[in-house]
Structure 1
Amino acid sequence: MHRVRAVNTPSMPRLAAASLAGTAIEFYDFFVYGTAAALVLGQLFFPTFSPVAGTLAAFGTFGVGFLARPLGSMLFGHLGDRRGRRPVLVVSLLLTGASTVAVGCVPSYGTIGVAAPVLLLVLRFLQGLGLGGEWGGAVLLTAEHAPAQRRALWASFPQMGPALGFVLANGVVLALSTALSDAEFARWGWRVPFWAAGALALAGLWLRSSLAESPRFLEIDDHARVPLVEVVRHHGRLVLLTAGALAVGYAVFYAVTTWSLAYATERLGVSRTVMLVCVMGAVVVQGALTPVAALFGDRYGRRPMCLTGCAACVLWMLPMVALLATGEPLLMFLAILGALLAFVIMFAVIAAYLPELYEPRVRCTGAAVGYNLGGVLGGALTPVVATALAQQGGRVPWGVGVYLTAVAVVSLVCFALLPETRPVPVPAVEPVRS
């Protein structure tokens, strides 16, 4: 383990709040698409398909965003390692916000034909490109300012952004779906959350305009000329292990927040409002517990927390699908809550863990590429695979549970092969007494 002297860093609450707000806005943009894909995009952009095939196609465009995220992490990681963490936050937010607003303006298949899903695909790719850069910039700026002994706590604030963004995205969708008829929601209501992304992006840019550059970046004398090449050459095994380790978090999160919406509303006949409330309630609890889990990470280590959360996923996935299949709101809520509690035990400390695994000169690229490759492995295919598996067999989608359990086992092995990185305090030197 590394021995690091603690540093006193001013304005950590302000810095953490700005990182949290920006990350929440970026993930709002990303999640509002996933919710729309589960509820309406299939019928609007793939109307010639059957309902199930349309949902699969919509989730396919959802997955394109994950495929773009590693490319975004390479592009913005290069910028972050060469020019600083702060510029990444501005450019990535602009790209994601603009592409999200544009999604809300794309005419449906009935208006412009095949051009509609093609435009959807391109804009989803741009969303993923921006988000691929966002996480590395926001996390590193916070983690590299933070005192060593509280790094997991302060770095967990950007990790609360996905929960806040999800609740915000789904809250807007829930309000609109409650206030509008199904026909109105399908005709224009689903577009409003995408348009709102423009105002949110401007607010995020204002919050980030006065953030100071990372002190760790300013200390680097020999910047990597091509960070990606150096990461692949010297840290390739580490990137693959972190990607495999993080796959379970993505798989679990998107199974319960995206696939479960489509499964419950289309297969079980649960109302859209009830399902959104169940998922949002569980995500609120997950977000609130993120800094608590991070405190345990500062005290007991990053790796033990990740192993514990991953093992909990292995044990919970089969009970989770059994509870979901009941169609009872309380049991469905408990199923989702249990999965997200296992998720947060791992992901609360990841924002400190991944940067600590890489040397500062390639940290933005290495941490972001590993994080976003995990998204491809665990998040891109999960809604599609789960939707297909849920069509097989009886009422309980056991195939989905087996698939998620298998992903969790692979991630558990990867976490077991990673080292611990929690900084060890340097003992104070006692003055010599004469």
Structure 2
Amino acid sequence: MSGSLSITSAMADPALLDLPWELPLESWPSDAIAALPKGISRHLVRFAHLGGHVVAIKETTADMAKGEYEMLRMLQRLEIPCVEPVAVITNRTDVEGDALKPVLVTRHLRFSLPYRALFSQTLRPDTATRLVDALAVLLVRLHIVGFFWGDVSLSNTLFRRDAGAFAAYLVDAETGKLYEGGLSNGQRENDLEIARVNIAGELLDLEAGGRVADELDPVNISNGIVEAYRSLWKELTGSESFSTAERWRISERVNRLNDLGFDIEELAIRTDDTGTTVRIQPKVVDAGHHQRRLLRLTGLDAGENQARRLLNDLDSYRAAYGKAELDEEMVAHEWLMRVFEPVVRAIPLDLRGKLEPAEVFHQLLEHRWFMAQQAGHDIPLAEAVTSYINEVLRHRRDEATVVGPATGSTTAIDVIAPETSAIAVVDPDDENDWRLKV
């Protein structure tokens, strides 16, 4: 390694020095490369092992690497879902002293996948819609904090399963800008149009390759982000007026926002000169209402939809055992010890990389419900856990570290199931159709 190497990092990880920075990224040896599926990028991107983690390494210019590194750090401080910046490496040279491109290093987001790896043979309309809806939520969150993305697309996003839906994470902030005074309507509409056009192009590309279902309309799906975005933006930021006799609508508005997963830090309430009309408008809106409640009660860190599902089960537990009048935190601790943790401990060690614990618990609840429907009576939790492990979880791919070609081929959704040496062909459109095909 050249002595002139410059590493800018907020993480004191000496393992950074062990990577072969003196080689062009495309020439890195296979023992340094982690074979994970990746999306389409204008830059060369490779995954590499760094200590006990996997990182994404992107070749770019020094200015762009430093700018994106600082932007990702800022977005993290604003609690925006995005990849974690690790380092910027500059002044790279090969063994002959010739300059090599600077790189940006980010931590791989465990249990996340690019959109092309989220389906097997064909992409179905409902899966595409869920992806677009997740991207719409991310775009709204970015715009609320004053971030103009400039290159909104499925390719620049990673997706994690979130209780039957998807949660979107920003991957590429290269073109983004943060405006302290917020975004104008024109800037928001510009980002929205970029999203619509890019998504249509990405889906049309899949269609040309025969990778989408016949009934999927790429243009119609891409237009869906406009409707989803505007509906959510209006609910989060729009004002409404009503009679002073309808003051209950203030609580109703707050509850609607909570149901969407958002908290209100401040609510502007004004009456007119006659005192007969009230006008309300949320001023500061934060995402993660259910996440924060679950974290406060149990210490569990889960996705928003996962948190909502776990809280529903907690509330059902309180009602079923007559504990509704008891302290909520005490009951939550009891539920955690008697229900959630025994389920997690029941998962065999070799299967714990399949899904996050919160997603496992959500899918278990779904599986138990289907079993009860078929049997016509309630199913004991222990019986449902055994059935779920053997009939569903055992035949799923490992989403903590999905094995795929080092080239990032879009066919990386067929993986070797280690416990069977068979090919596990997965279909994310049906949560109960993860079957083993030999």
TM-score range, shorter chain: under 0.3
Q: RCO higher in 1 or 2 (8 Å CA, sep ≥ 6)?
A: 1
TM-score by length of 1: 0.26
TM-score by length of 2: 0.26
Structure ranking higher in helix proportion: 1
